[in-house]
Structure 1
Amino acid sequence: MLHYALVFLVIAIIAALFGFTGIAGTAASIAKILFIVFLILAIIAFFRRAS
């Protein structure tokens, strides 16, 4: 999940450099959502492992 978030972040940065603002914004939004999902799953896994 974190890998895909980083891939979309790189796509967003490259698209922004070339001026594709629509694609860059979409890719950045997807990257943010995937990162948040990753954090939630990591916290759940941590607490399930601790108990």
Structure 2
Amino acid sequence: MHGKDIDKARADEARRAAEENINKHADDVNFAQAQMELAKAMAQLRAVELTQQVRR
């Protein structure tokens, strides 16, 4: 996936949802899943940032 292909709004929402799930995790499986989703969303946001920097 390329930075230009990532929807920043969707990545922001995914990050927010993952953080919310981490804060209210019910069990270790859900917590691990939320951590994985958060890491993915943060990586996507970082790719967007780097793509924007390159374009400047």
TM-score scaled to structure 2, two decimals?
Answer: 0.68
Structure 2: unaligned runs, 5 residues or longer: 1-10
Note if 1:12 corresponds to 2:22.
Answer: yes
Greater share of residues in helix = 1
2:6 matched residue in structure 1: none
| Bigger radius of gyration | 1
Q: Percent identity?
A: 4
Structure 1 residue 28 displacement after superposition? 1.0
Kindly report structure 1 stretches of 4+ aligned residues shifted beyond 2 Å: none
Cα deviation code 1:1-51 (max 9, x no counterpart): 123212111112201xx4x11001101111111101110111112211x1x
| Length, aligned pairs only | 46
Structure 1: unaligned runs, 5 residues or longer: none
Higher relative contact order (CA 8 A, sep 6+): 2
